[in-house]
């Protein structure tokens, strides 16, 4: 009987907490929906700005990659075409296998 009372009390508190969270979330979603409805031009401008920033960032990254590829092609004068800048390979003379 004690277990049943203990379980129902905690279940009731958990249900109340879930109901409160659901109510707050629902009110926030309705408020955000109203805000978007009223200020749709502002949100469209923000979305456009985000896309422009993403586009310019992507173009900048592409330019960096093209420059890096050009530098690697220009400075890779070894016979096998490998790119080695600031690489020192040291082999001990007394290397045992």
pLDDT digits (tens, 9 = 90+) for 7-38: 677 777 888 889 999 999 999 999 999 998 99
Question: What are the structure tokens assigned to 93, written together?
Answer: 């003379």
List phi, psi (to 5°) of 77. -95, 10
User: Kind and range of the H or E element at 73?
Assistant: helix 40-75
Both 34 and 45 in a single domain?
no
Half-sphere exposure of 3 (CA within 13 A, CB side): 0
Name the DSSP class of 78: S
Both 31 and 56 in a single domain?
no
pTM of the full structure = 0.49
For residue 16, the enclosing domain spans: 1-38
- CA angle 52/57/59 to nearest 5° reads 95
Q: What is the pLDDT at residue 55?
A: 96
User: In this structure, is residue 86 part of a structural domain?
Assistant: no
Both 30 and 63 in a single domain?
no
Both 17 and 3 in a single domain?
yes
The tens digit of pLDDT for each residue in 38-80 reads 999 998 999 999 999 999 999 999 999 999 888 877 765 555 5
Tally the domains of the chain. 2
Q: What is the pLDDT at residue 79?
A: 56
User: In this structure, is residue 31 part of a structural domain?
Assistant: yes
User: In this structure, is residue 52 part of a structural domain?
Assistant: yes
């Amino acid at each position: 009987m004690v277990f049943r009372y203990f379980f129902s009390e905690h279940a009731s508190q958990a249900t109340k907490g879930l109901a409160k969270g659901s109510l707050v979330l629902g009110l926030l979603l309705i408020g955000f929906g109203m805000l978007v409805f009223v200020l749709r031009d502002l949100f469209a401008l923000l979305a456009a700005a985000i896309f422009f920033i993403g586009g310019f960032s992507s173009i900048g990254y592409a330019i960096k990659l093209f420059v890096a590829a050009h530098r690697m092609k220009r400075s890779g004068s070894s016979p096998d075409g490998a790119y080695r800048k600031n690489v020192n390979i040291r082999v001990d003379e007394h290397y045992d296998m």
